[in-house]
Structure 1
Amino acid sequence: MSEISVLDYGAGNVSSVIRMIERAGGRARRIYSPAEVAEATKLIIPGVGAFDYGMSQLELRGLLPALTTAALENAVPVLGICLGMQLMCRTSQEGKMPGLGWIDAHVLRFSFTNGGSLRVPHMGWNTIQVPRENQLLATDSGEQRFYFVHSYYVACNDPADPIAITDYGGKFVAAFQRKNLFGVQFHPEKSHRFGMELLSNFLEFPHA
């Protein structure tokens, strides 16, 4: 298995992600700089907190050009987790700054029109459905459960991008894949064996 670089940009629980990668049998390296991003052969962008804060931290640290080169030009496998997934999209209702724009998707706030008692943020364990073959999640492994904490969700414009769907007051995208780019709304580092399996699959995904 290859090494995964985990980007520390001041907006993610990097240590927990590294520990889960190691439990999955991989090697993880905490990185901070554009030069380290340029050296990465696999990359995770974790994230918790607000959209504009995450984007501003990437910009402040000079990471935006290096990230886009790695993801779009060098086809480095990239996995965005929670806020990291949302930053890969075009825009978010949570903020005013543009996202990385790698995925044709927008981030929307949960809004329940049926007058139900569902709470925001969506917090806790939820099952997913996997509608198509992909390199991250098995389609035939029975029930898969992951841990979610979020008030906003990704809406993909291309129906080919979602690889997992979750229902919370309506169906939304729990994970997407476009070529070498992956995003998951849940936290694999908090999802026990399901998260470990997902990270193991990401470790095995080939770098072009």
Structure 2
Amino acid sequence: MSKPAVALFDYGSGNLRSAHRALERAGGDVELTSDLDTARSADGLVVPGVGAFAACMAGIVEHGLDAVVRERASAGAPVLGICVGEQILFTRGVEHGVETAGIGVFEGSVERLEADRVPHMGWNTVEAPAEMRLFAGIDPAERFYFVHSYAAKTAPPGTLVATADHGEPFVAAVERGPVAATQFHPEKSGDAGYALLSNWIKGLK
């Protein structure tokens, strides 16, 4: 049986090498691409991201990926956002008092964490609802690797949300139908991250 086709989109931001390896290990036939037709037609589209919300959105808009992500979300085609790739799926991001429009798949704002130490860097547990497919079969005591200063803090309407805590609760992962995203880096989260990516790959056509 052929492996699901996964488009890992390169728009100039993201931990592409380790994400590529992790997605292949999890069972995907992974293509690193900047081609919109490939992103549109793949069984699954992965949107990575590191750094600033505004910079990531600038790269996404420049490449035209925002329209493709919205198309896939509307059509029920699987999308996975990772780290800032999760954040830009929300309506807006606010950094240093500047608001930047996101792709808008999920309603809500991404804002700076209110914590004694920022960024939130290192391993943390995640509390996920039992029906969340990303976390199927994963022990609640497992830890995932985070590196971020900003996060969404409220659950978007109509979604399943897993939360973590760093000074305050925040959205660690979000899922609505075939569109899912994680604030943490599954590709850097060892066996727990492998299990999560495997769950996502299994949900592809």
> TM-score scaled to structure 1, two decimals?
0.90
In 2: Cα distance, 1:192 partner to 1:162 partner: 23
- With over 3 angstroms needed to count, the CA separation of the structure-2 counterparts of 1:75 and 1:109, relative to structure 1, is same
Q: Measured at CA, do residues 12 and 133 of structure 1 come closer, stay the same or move farther in structure 2, by a change above 3 Å? A: same
Q: Do residues 56 (structure 1) and 54 (structure 2) align?
A: no
* Aligned equivalents of 1:145, 1:202: Cα separation in 2: 18
Q: Following the alignment from structure 1 to structure 2, what is the Cα–Cα distance between the partners of residues 157 and 13?
A: 26
Partner of residue 169, structure 1 = 167
Aligned residue number for residue 24 of structure 2: 22
Q: Which runs of 5+ in 2 are unaligned?
A: none
Change (3 A) 1:130 1:64: closer
Question: Is 2:134 the counterpart of 1:136?
Answer: yes
Question: How far has the Cα of 1:4 moved from its partner?
Answer: 1.4
Partner SS for 2:184: coil
Q: Contact 2:133/2:199 (CA < 8 Å) preserved in 1?
A: yes
Which residue of structure 2 lines up, in the alignment, with residue 93 of structure 1? 94
Which aligned segments of 4 or more residues in structure 1 are displaced greater than 4 angstroms?
A: none
SS of 2:101's equivalent? coil
The residue number in structure 1 matching 2:85 is: 84
Mapped to 2, the partners of 1:3 and 1:185 lie a distance apart of: 23
- Identify the residue that residue 4 of structure 1 maps to in structure 2: 6
Question: What is residue 115 of structure 1 aligned with on the other side?
Answer: none
Distance in structure 2 (CA, Å) of the matches to 1:168 and 1:139: 25
Question: Structure 1 residue 139: deviation in Å?
Answer: 6.4
Q: 1:51 to 1:158 in 2, by over 3 A?
A: closer
SS in 2 for 1:54: helix
Per-residue CA deviations over 1:108-129 (Å, capped at 9, x if unaligned) read 10124xxxxx310000000111
Cα deviation, residue 140, structure 1: 6.3
Name the amino acid aligned to 2:14. G
Give, in angstroms, the shift of residue 168 of structure 1. Answer: 1.0
Give the C-alpha shift of residue 81 in structure 1: 0.4
CA distance 1:140–1:85, shift in 2 (3 Å): closer
- Cα shift at 1:64: 2.4
CA distance in structure 1 between the partners assigned to 2:4 and 2:88 by the alignment: 25
The answer to which of 40-49 and 95-104 deviates more is 95-104
Q: CA deviation at 1:145?
A: 0.6
TM-score under structure 2 length normalisation: 0.91
Letter in 2 for 1:111: E
Deviation track 1:94-147 (CA, whole Å, cap 9, x = no partner) reads: 2432100000121010124xxxxx310000000111124121103662412100
CA distance in 1, matches of 2:63, 2:204: 28
**Offset, 1:169:** 1.2
RMSD (Å), alpha carbons: 1.7
Q: Is the 8 A contact 1:132 1:163 kept in 2?
A: no
- Displacement of 1:160 in angstroms is 4.8
State the AA in 2 paired with 1:193. D
